[in-house]
Structure 1
Amino acid sequence: MINKNVPRPDFEREEWTDLNGEWEFSFDEPLFDKKIKVPFCYQSEMSGICNTDVHHVVWYRKEFEVEKSRLKGKSLLLKFGAVDYEAEVYINQIHAAGHRGGHTPFEADITGLVLEGKNVITVKAMDYSDEDKPRGKQTWTGKNFACWYTPTTGIWQSVWLEYAGETYIKRMKATPDLERNEVLCEIFISSMEKVKAEISFSSLPAEGGTEMDLGSLNVVCENGYGKGILALPDLDVRREELIWTLEKPNLIGMEAKLLNDKVSGYFGLRSVCISNGRILLNGEVLYQRLILDQGYWKQSLLTPPDEDAIKKDILLAKRMGFNGARKHQKIEDPRYYYWADRLGFLVWGEMPSCYKYTDSTLKNTSGELTEFIERDYNHPSIITWVTVNESWGMRNIRTDSSQQSLANMLYYQAKALDRTRLVSGNDGWEQTENTDILALHDYELMPENTGKYESMEDVMNGYAERRMVLADGQKYKAQPVLMTEYGGIAFTSETEGWGYYNKAGSQEEFLKRLEPITDFLIKSRKFSGFCYTQLTDVMQETNGLLREDRTPKLPLKELERIFGKKSYE
């Protein structure tokens, strides 16, 4: 069974050492005159520092113990979940690794650098205010403004050691084929030599299910790569015992053995496709009821405060009638995707945006997008990638052919890396025709103006709120249409924060505005789903259904009645 407490529940080794906790720390220079609690960034309360001054360079240091006898025939891997934005890592003052990209993992084989007994890790993290790198919702001006919040600098996801084989598994990639009832399993390893790996599969059923042995593959790996196809048992009318659905989120475990290395992971047997302008999940029409989720916590910013906080957010969203979340401008902690997989909750995985268009915008975005998809490919809950949002970092995309080309490149990059999921190419407006989803953002949608969607052709050739739906020279190609941002209603009692358009003076006024527009999106049959803004308040943006501490502003049952309503009700 999956151990949810490991940093990567989808890629787990039995022998690992947690390096989270107290580290030595300093701003600007390696003085190490402070203490910090990793993996929380220095700007957060839970780091123990809680200083929001801008520091572009920060330093970390930690001692750890190694028994060299444990390394006989083994490799010692040092792993970082995410360091924002650029990291240089040293072991005993010898350079071990470098990485650019603030939201994706990296590792170093430090076997040859460690000594018997005490060893020292030093990390230099650099996070400048440049706007042509993926920043997401982190302000670059030195202060919070509009919908941009306190930044995250340095280590903000887990750090750990893994004891792997001398030749070790770097990645497992499972591509399910629901129609053929099989899975293509690809394995990437550290050696160029020819070696054999054995991969065994078993069901990890939803609650109440029965575990099954699903067979195994013998895979020959050469030049760092091997693959094989497993035919899954044909359960015919009992296929629900294996398929991943929202109602029964079954998973399939896979364990790969390579010489003296062993890794456990999992995937889900499910399909996502488009047919006649509708999105299908496992061959059935899917209506998506998504909540926009920024993934911030007051006390810990982008880092989840603990395991229960992740699970709580998903369960609260489900209780309000949502069947998924658009994780807005954030590559989440892998444990979030684990809980979405396990609880049956859809996720849109979204690239954090840049805010300036240069050649570096292309390089920086493309690099992190690749690492994002590679890390999270096996999570069945993720059904859509969002490569660009609202023309951020591509402000002239409506008329500029080079910016359109970048959006198209990122779309095709995502499709090349992952043929099993949909891609929203520029979510919100000014989209090119190279997108699987036509995504609209309309905070002006009110009960009195739903009639503007009477002619969807006029909308596609015009605008939903203020910006043109399509970039110049682009045509609508009958993609499914989703309202991927709307609502954002705040209360007048929240005097210091903001919401979209007029604030509601009472719960009754809030619901009188919310219910008719949500009913329209559900019942008009013009949309394949919606995404309401948003799950929680975040700092100065107080338009959440929940406050920052996750207390509800309205009765959850009332919200579930509205967001969970069926078209015939």
Structure 2
Amino acid sequence: MKRFFAFACLVTTSCFAVQAQDWKPAGDKILTTWGEHLDPENPHPEYPRPQLERKENWKTLNGLWKYTIVDKSISEKPTSWEGDILVPFAVESALSGVGKEVGKDKALWYSRTISVPKTFRKGRALLHFGAVDWQCDVYVNGQHIGQHEGGFDPFSFDITSALKKGTEQEVVVRVWDPTSDGPQPRGKQINNPHGIWYTPVTGIWQTVWLENVPESYIVNTKQTPDVDQSLLHFSAEVAEAKEGDQLLVEVYDGAQKIAEQQFAANQALALSLKNPMLWNPDNPKLYDLDIKLVRKGKVIDQVKSYFAMRKISVKTGNDGIQRMYLNDEFVFHYGPLDQGWWPDGLHTPPSDEALKFDVVKTKEMGFNMIRKHIKVEQARWYRHCDSIGILVWQDMPSGDLGENIWDMQPGKISNGIHDKNRTSESEAIYKKEWKAIMDALHNFPSIVVWVPFNEAWGQFKTKEITEWTMNYDPSRLVNSASGGNFAYIGHILDIHNYPGAAMPDPNLFGDKFVLALGEFGGLGLPVEGHTWQEKDNWGYQSFKNKEELKKRYQELVTDLNALVKRGLSAGVYTQTTDVEVETNGLMTYDRKVIKIPEAELKKMHEVLYQHVVQ
């Protein structure tokens, strides 16, 4: 039997290799270096869940799947397929090998025969999806396993009962995504890409993977640091826990165990830490966790995780102005607007190396923060921010746009007057996905600010949403509406201004809110051979060469520094990279050209972090 299994695997591998040889990027758009060297036999092979590692019994299902696009009214599995699609790249992307749009009237179907090892028969077999945009139905061996709605949050299904005899199992996925024709969160996607609105992203766009777990297993953990008390608040969800089951939590500083505690499963505890080192961008100290499910002295399940001790808060200085404090020290937050788009993969970077590249370059440029703009990244991106030392402001992807009146001038509008009236269905979709996103990202210490709304893009019930967000996660600050319609709720008052630096009036608002410049800059420089299209590219202010660009950028930083002295707590420069026809990035869209050298940017930025507040 072992010989037969090995032969079957060999045949499957050989067939896959032949298919992979036929794969090539679709279209004629620019590619990143990583996209040019992508191995279609092994895309994104890394373990995808850094905050709940169970690396022994898992396998990636990334690679070539069959696909077809049919009328959305067809509910049965297609009988024929158009060709191969490379997962986890959206069907519209070059790296999918397809490059086709779908739209609200069509559905995208996937199919793949997977090999499930015999070892996965013991316990439960879980099928995980990092993200699928937007409505996803999953079938295993013809059995409907479940449906998920939400384009930015991870989900999974227990497929154990659907497995048939033998190793080969058929997985079929149906996806429907109305993009800008629906009310769901979608970020910058639009059916008619132009200006600041980009190509649709439909279908699977993060890793798909299979995991084997015991009958009783750790589903998730939640860890929240309490710096003032030197505590880590910890809880875990355990599936099929038995009476008397215990969780053993061990804390490690490198190889040294520094704390441990055992307690009843599905209960919470506070782990005491002696003189913990605090996390900050200059010293991104992480502690490791080893979590074991114990039954009558035997380890039933075991996962690894990590955490950091850090505190984000608001304090009023001697000048009467509120500012953001990290670990009880004023730290000016300065970073780029980071949209996380790629010319070849759209929402999906071509590799984990590419994913990390943007974070590394941001740090090398002397930024200490990233505003992740109306997109949620795959979990490994946040791990990179945690370990490299970057503060993250996390936006909620916007959706259901239109009908809002945008007024970003504080003091000119009354509470909630410009909130959009969304349908009950639209509101429910937003609330469900915002909670799912916050749950999925809670354990990443780099995230210090939640941003429920951007400008007037689908903004509704601002006071209610902001208060809920503050109550649901009091360990972080909340920027209710970045550059949006101010309901005078939350911790931060945030304006957008292009291209120059500006700030809310500290005399009017400095004693009530943290003052932030949520977007500015947008200095554009198209670089020949590295643009999405040959002409009609744009920036908020365009330049002819790198020298002109650098001179103007230095002026902006000088102006920004003057505002920090007046009480500004944060600035967000637009943006990390060019994105489609926008050429206002510090790097080109393909990441091949950095427009201002990293060392020069870092030297410019140093002055921003030298302010001492009493």
Q: Distance in 1 between matches of 2:515 and 2:380?
A: 30
Change in 2 beyond 3 A, CA 1:295/1:118: same
Determine the structure 2 residue equivalent to 1:485.
519
Tell me if 1:27 matches 2:79: no
Bigger mean CA offset, 408-417 vs 16-25? 408-417
4+ aligned runs moved over 6 Å, structure 1? none
Change in 2 beyond 3 A, CA 1:186/1:517: same
Tell me if 1:9 matches 2:54: no
Determine the structure 2 residue equivalent to 1:471.
none
Bigger mean CA offset, 48-57 vs 277-286? 48-57
Tell me if 1:119 matches 2:175: no
Q: Distance in 2 between matches of 1:329 and 1:284?
A: 28
Determine the structure 2 residue equivalent to 1:105.
154
CA contact (8 A) 2:364 2:599 kept: yes
CA contact (8 A) 2:67 2:83 kept: yes
CA contact (8 A) 2:343 2:580 kept: yes
Deviation of the 1:75 alpha carbon: 1.0
Determine the structure 2 residue equivalent to 1:51.
100
| Amino acid of the structure 1 residue aligned with 2:522 | G
Of 178, 181, 185, the match for 1:134: 185
Tell me if 1:255 matches 2:299: no
Q: Distance in 1 between matches of 2:517 and 2:491?
A: 14
SS of equivalent residue, structure 1 residue 265: strand
SS of equivalent residue, structure 1 residue 373: helix
Q: Distance in 2 between matches of 1:486 and 1:338?
A: 27
CA contact (8 A) 1:66 1:115 kept: no
SS of equivalent residue, structure 2 residue 607: coil
In the TM superposition, 1:370-385 aligns within 5 A as 370-385=435-450
Tell me if 1:520 matches 2:559: yes
RMSD: 2.2
Q: Distance in 2 between matches of 1:250 and 1:275?
A: 24
Number of equivalences:
518
In the TM superposition, 1:465-476 aligns within 5 A as none
Bigger mean CA offset, 552-561 vs 369-378? 552-561
Determine the structure 2 residue equivalent to 1:268.
308
Structure 1 segments unaligned to the other structure (5+ residues): 205-209, 395-402, 461-475
| Amino acid of the structure 2 residue aligned with 1:338 | R
CA contact (8 A) 1:279 1:480 kept: yes
Deviation of the 1:430 alpha carbon: 1.6
Deviation of the 1:146 alpha carbon: 2.0
In the TM superposition, 1:83-482 aligns within 5 A as 83-116=132-165, 117-129=167-179, 130-139=181-190, 142-191=191-240, 193-204=242-253, 210-221=254-265, 225-232=266-273, 234-235=274-275, 239-240=276-277, 243-258=278-293, 259=295, 260-276=300-316, 277-354=322-399, 355-356=401-402, 357-394=422-459, 403=460, 406-445=461-500, 455-457=505-507, 478-482=512-516
Identity within the alignment, %: 33
Change in 2 beyond 3 A, CA 1:75/1:456: same
CA contact (8 A) 2:215 2:240 kept: no
Structure 2 segments unaligned to the other structure (5+ residues): 1-43, 72-77, 317-321, 403-421, 529-534
Q: Distance in 2 between matches of 1:441 and 1:566?
A: 19
CA deviation map 1:36-60 (0-9, x unaligned) = 1100011111111122464641001
Determine the structure 2 residue equivalent to 1:61.
111
Bigger mean CA offset, 409-418 vs 159-168? 409-418
Q: Distance in 1 between matches of 2:570 and 2:325?
A: 12
Deviation of the 1:193 alpha carbon: 4.4
Determine the structure 2 residue equivalent to 1:543.
584
Determine the structure 2 residue equivalent to 1:463.
none
Determine the structure 2 residue equivalent to 1:397.
none
Q: Distance in 2 between matches of 1:160 and 1:265?
A: 19
| Amino acid of the structure 2 residue aligned with 1:228 | L
Determine the structure 2 residue equivalent to 1:399.
none
Q: Distance in 1 between matches of 2:356 and 2:113?
A: 32
Q: Distance in 2 between matches of 1:454 and 1:113?
A: 58
Of 37, 49, 60, the match for 2:86: 37
Bigger mean CA offset, 113-122 vs 45-54? 45-54
Change in 2 beyond 3 A, CA 1:103/1:510: same
CA contact (8 A) 2:114 2:168 kept: yes
Change in 2 beyond 3 A, CA 1:28/1:477: farther
CA deviation map 1:259-291 (0-9, x unaligned) = 522221111111111111111111111110111
Q: Distance in 2 between matches of 1:229 and 1:567?
A: 34
Q: Distance in 2 between matches of 1:440 and 1:315?
A: 27
Deviation of the 1:455 alpha carbon: 4.9
SS of equivalent residue, structure 1 residue 120: strand
Change in 2 beyond 3 A, CA 1:49/1:415: same
| Amino acid of the structure 2 residue aligned with 1:347 | V
CA contact (8 A) 2:134 2:203 kept: yes
| Amino acid of the structure 2 residue aligned with 1:507 | K
Q: Distance in 1 between matches of 2:543 and 2:326?
A: 36
Bigger mean CA offset, 121-130 vs 517-526? 517-526
Deviation of the 1:384 alpha carbon: 0.7
Q: Distance in 2 between matches of 1:218 and 1:391?
A: 48
TM-score by length of 1: 0.87
CA contact (8 A) 2:550 2:596 kept: no
